[in-house]
Amino acid sequence: MSTFRNPFAAAAVALVLSACGPQAQPPEAPPAETPSQPSPDTAGSTLPRELDPLFAQAAQEFNVPVELLKAVSYAETRWQMVRGEAEFPGQQPAFGLMALRGEDLEQGAALAGVTAEAARTDALSNLRAGAARLSQLATDANVERGDLAAWAPVVAELSGITQPEAQAEHVHRSVYAVLNEGAVELNQDGSVAVSLEPVKVEAKFARPQVRAMAAGPDYASSIWRAAPSGNYGARTSGAAGDPSMIIIHTCEGSYGSCWSWLTNSASGVSAHYVVNESGSEISQLVREANRAYHIGAYYDCSLNGSKECWLNGTQSNHFTIGIEHGGYASQSSFPAGQIDASAKLSCDIARDNAIVKDSYHIVAHGKLQPATRTDPGPNWPWSTYLSKVNSYCGTATPTGQIIIDSNSANNDASKARFSLTGSWSDGYSAGYYGSGYYYAATEAISAPATFEFYLPTAQTRTIDAWWVAGTNRSTTAPFIAYNAAGSEVGRVSVNQQTNGGKWVQLGTYSFSAGWNKVQLSRWTTPGYVVMADAVRVR
């Protein structure tokens, strides 16, 4: 049997030192870009289009109900191949469709006869390792394998959650809830990747305690689950202690395992809020007036568009409010309900604390702590998220304005899209818009970056561009505008060595109905790079 059950339960001292105190070291600034080839994909995971046969194979091989295997996977990862990353120091990273961690992964891989690396990166190997580990735990617990309800204690043990209330929530409201309700995941072409037909079953496990749950003291739509006093502290007096930023995190695990660990005195860390995967529940753990220990970095404004530089050197917990989200930085998408619920929460926090509702004051954990964190990951829909925050707060983006980011996950696909031709590299130096940018060497070839936008009627629009300035940037970067018929309607050359980290007007042009575009060409004076970050249409 495993001696390390809670995925967050290790190195408690390291947690405290990293997340809350002056011992934390400032993150390293990313290096300046030089012309190079794109970095290879580091995800290291494979996900077939049809998962149902893989679930069936693994379940049959290890005598685990296939419905249960699917339900556990859905509750943990929403049927995504996650790549383990750390959120809390000492946390065992989760991998694959089953979110296997630590000894569960090692033992499951050994029982399935696959390497631990295969169990981390290959869908079938991960499912077989998960099924093998579930089977072993069922044998140890003398589970009647044909009785789905009897598997509940095994489900609780594999989750790694040790807090009884969180265990009960995970079993009844996550795994067995999806068993009862069913679920389906479609491929982009509409074909079925994996499906779970509803199975009416009541888990043989203690139900969540029936009691009135107090509302969060700062957000009425949350549940108050107070973190112990050792997991947070008082804010410093003075302006540096006033909340001025919201930090977006992913738990690198499920909602239940996240809030239960952050309310465990052994962890020494916390966040102000945790949002569940569907957006149906939010837990408040720390008062907004107090300092949760959720980010282990001193503030460096060069990582954040040179904004609020007077805070440089201040431990970031002092002036931030942290929101954790059930899920993973490596997941390919986030549930719409979770994004919506989180945006309502961020609006409330920003309104109550007079926080500016933009990309410099509602920021990614990984943006302020890039040396060791990447969450919430490249697919967090920043444009949609910030638009929702501002909409709920009554400060939405002006009607008709369109922003096309170089990260397609940030774009509203119905009216904005981005593409590259030729070889470009991705970059993340300070001052970018949205989620990074792309750059490429100038040479006698167009091979452009293309920012497309949809207009329902012919209109005259003003075009702005955003880039990260630097000494190796082109002073004659060519932006060319085309209408929906493909006819050029304007062009301008700009100096990308200056005016970085802000919108710069390119010109006002007449566009037609349909998909128009602005292209950044590379065909200009050699020896430099051009920067494709974001374009705004207004």
Can you give the pLDDT of all 538 residues of the chain as single tens digits?
A: 333 334 444 333 333 333 443 333 333 223 333 333 333 233 334 567 789 999 999 999 999 999 999 999 999 999 999 998 888 876 789 999 999 999 999 999 999 999 999 999 999 999 999 999 999 999 999 999 999 999 999 999 999 999 999 999 999 999 999 999 999 988 878 888 899 999 999 999 988 775 667 899 999 999 999 999 999 999 987 778 889 999 999 999 999 999 999 999 989 999 999 999 999 999 999 999 999 999 999 999 999 988 889 899 999 999 999 999 999 999 999 999 999 999 999 999 998 888 888 999 999 999 999 999 999 999 999 989 999 999 898 865 555 789 999 988 778 889 999 999 999 998 877 777 876 899 999 998 889 999 999 999 999 999 999 999 999 999 999 999 999 999 999 999 999 999 998 889 999 999 999 999 999 999 999 999 999 999 999 8
Q: Could you say which of 1.10.530, 1.10.12, 3.10.450, 1.10.3470 is the CATH number of the domain covering 51-196?
A: 1.10.530
**DSSP state, 413?**
T
**CATH superfamily ID and name for 402-537:** Galactose-binding domain-like (2.60.120.260)
**In this predicted structure, what is the pLDDT of residue 394?**
82
Tell me the C-alpha to C-alpha distance, in Å, between residue 379 and each of 252, 331, 337, 436, 474.
14, 7, 15, 11, 29
Determine phi and psi for 345, rounding to 5 degrees: -65, -45
Q: β-pairing, 402-405 with 459-466?
A: unpaired
Which class is 223-393 in CATH? alpha beta
Q: β-pairing, 534-537 with 504-511?
A: unpaired
427-466 as b/e, with b when 16 or more CB fall inside 10 Å?
bbbbbbbbbbbbbbbbbeeeebbbbbbbbeeeeebebbbb
**In this predicted structure, what is the pLDDT of residue 211?**
61
| Tokens read off for 254 | 């499920």
| Tokens read off for 526 | 């050699």
* Residue 332 contacts residue 380 (beta carbons within 8 Å): no
Cα–Cα nearest to 367, from 353, 377, 381: 377
In 300-442, which ranges are continuous DSSP H helix?
Answer: 336-353, 365-368, 382-392
Q: What is the SS3 assignment for 245? A: strand
Place of tokens 């440089």: 312
**In this predicted structure, what is the pLDDT of residue 454?**
96
Secondary structure of 246-288 in HEC code, one letter for each residue:
EEECCCCECHHHHHHHHCCCCCCCCCCEEECCCCCCEEECCCC
Letter for the amino acid at 248? I
The answer for 218, left when phi > 0, alpha when psi is -120 to 50, beta otherwise, is alpha
Q: β-pairing, 273-275 with 320-325?
A: parallel
Report the C-alpha gap between 294 and 232 in whole angstroms: 9
Report the C-alpha gap between 287 and 273 in whole angstroms: 9
Cα–Cα nearest to 388, from 294, 279, 307, 281: 279
Report the C-alpha gap between 247 and 360 in whole angstroms: 10
Residues 237-255 pLDDT 10s: 777 888 999 999 999 999 9
Residues 6+ apart with CB under 8 A from 390: 347, 357, 396, 397
**In this predicted structure, what is the pLDDT of residue 385?**
95
Q: How many CB atoms lie within 10 A of CB 498?
A: 12
Determine phi and psi for 358, rounding to 5 degrees: -140, 180
Residues 315-374 pLDDT 10s: 999 999 999 999 999 999 999 999 999 999 999 999 888 888 899 999 999 999 999 999
Extents of the domains making up the chain: 51-196, 223-393, 402-537
* Residue 311 contacts residue 238 (beta carbons within 8 Å): no
